[in-house]
Structure 1
C-alpha cells in the first residue's frame, strides 16, 4: 500500500516537474518496485473521479444530452469505472511494446511512474471544478470552459514530463502525448457507445 509519506513526496516531485524542474524525478520511486506501486495511484483517483463523474452526470442531464427518463445511473457508473480502468493500463501497455523500437526503454519506467503520479496532480483542478459546479458556484458553460483550459495545461504537462523522463525529441514527445490522448478518447468513445451513453 502507498504510505502517506510516499504520496506527499511523490506529489511534491510532480509539482516540481510541473514547474519544469527535473529534480522532481528524484522524489519519485523509479525502481521496478516503485513502477508497480505507482499503479496503485488508481485507487487514490477513485474519489476525484467520482466527483468529476457526478459533475458530468449533472451536465448531461441539465443540458439534455440524455433524457432523464431513460438515463441509467448504473450504466453511467459502470461505463465510468470500466473506462478509467481500461485507460489506466492501456497506454503503458502500448508504450511498452513501442519503447524498444523507438529507443525509449531506458526511460520507460521513470516515465510511467511520473505519468501515474502526475495523474493525481492533474485530477485536483478537475475535482475542484466539478465541486464548484455541483454546489452551484459555476454555470455549465464556465465548468466546461475551465475543464478545457485544464486539459490544455495537462497536455503541456504531459509533454514536459515526457521530455524530462524519456529524453525524447520534440516530435517524438508530441507523438507520445498525442497517442496517450487519442487512446483515452477512443476508449471513452467505444465504451460510451457500448453502454449507450
Structure 2
C-alpha cells in the first residue's frame, strides 16, 4: 500500500476527474464492495488522487439533491418543494456526515495502526460513497413518482441496510482490515451521521431526517 498521508496541498487545476476516470474509480469501488481487493488498482492512491477523491462529493450531488427533493415533497407530507434554507440544511448535514468520519479516522489512524491504510480508506470511501448515491437514486425517484407507502418504507430499510453492508465490505477490502474493525469503523460513521443530522436540524431549526 502507499504511504499514509499525502504530501502537498490539494490540487486546484483539474480537481474534477474526467468521466472516464470517474467510471474507472466507480468500477474499482464496486469491485471492493464485491470482495475483490484488486479494485484498489483502479483507484488513484497518489497524493493528487487522495485530494481529487473529494470531488466525489460533487459527483454525488445530483442524486443527493434528488433525495432532498424526495424528503421535502414526500416525507414532510406537505407536497411542497422546500425552501433554499431547507436545501442548505440538507447539504450541510450530508457534507458533515461525509467528512467528519474521515477526519476522525485521520486523527486516530496512528493510534489504531491505520496509518498506512488511511489513503486507500479515504479514496475508496469517497468514490464508494458517490457510487452508492447513484446506485440508490432510483429508490428516491420511485418514491417521488408513487409516493410513500408501507412498501416503499420497507424498501427504504433494505436500501439503508444494503448501504451499510456494502460500506463494511468497502472498508474491509480497501484496507485489508478484519471484519470486526471494519464493522466498528462503519458503526462510528453511522453514529456520526446521525449526530450530524441532529445537530444540523437543531442549528437550522428544520427537520431534515
Q: TM-score, normalised by structure 1?
A: 0.89
Give the structure 1 partner of residue 57 of structure 2. 42
User: Are positions 1:171 and 2:180 aligned together?
Assistant: yes
Q: Gaps spanning 5+ residues in structure 2: where? A: 1-15
Following superposition of structure 1 onto structure 2, how do residues 146-185 of structure 1 map, counting pairs within 5 Å?
A: 146-185=155-194
Partners of 1:79 and 1:192 within 8 A in 2: yes
Match of 1:16 among 18, 21, 31: 31
175-184 vs 165-174, greater mean Cα deviation: 165-174
Query: Distance between the aligned counterparts of 2:106 and 2:67, measured in 1?
Result: 29
Q: Secondary structure at the match of 1:168?
A: coil
Q: TM-score, normalised by structure 2?
A: 0.84
Q: Secondary structure at the match of 2:177?
A: coil
Query: Distance between the aligned counterparts of 2:75 and 2:86, measured in 1?
Result: 11
User: Are positions 1:101 and 2:116 aligned together?
Assistant: no
Q: CA deviation at 1:169?
A: 2.5
Following superposition of structure 1 onto structure 2, how do residues 1-197 of structure 1 map, counting pairs within 5 Å?
A: 1-62=16-77, 73-136=83-146, 139-196=148-205, 197=207
127-136 vs 98-107, greater mean Cα deviation: 127-136
Residues 192 and 171 of structure 1: CA distance in aligned 2, closer, same or farther (over 3 Å): same
Partners of 1:48 and 1:124 within 8 A in 2: yes
Q: Gaps spanning 5+ residues in structure 1: where? A: none
Cα RMSD, aligned residues only: 1.9
Structure 1 segments of 4 or more deviating over 4 A?
A: none
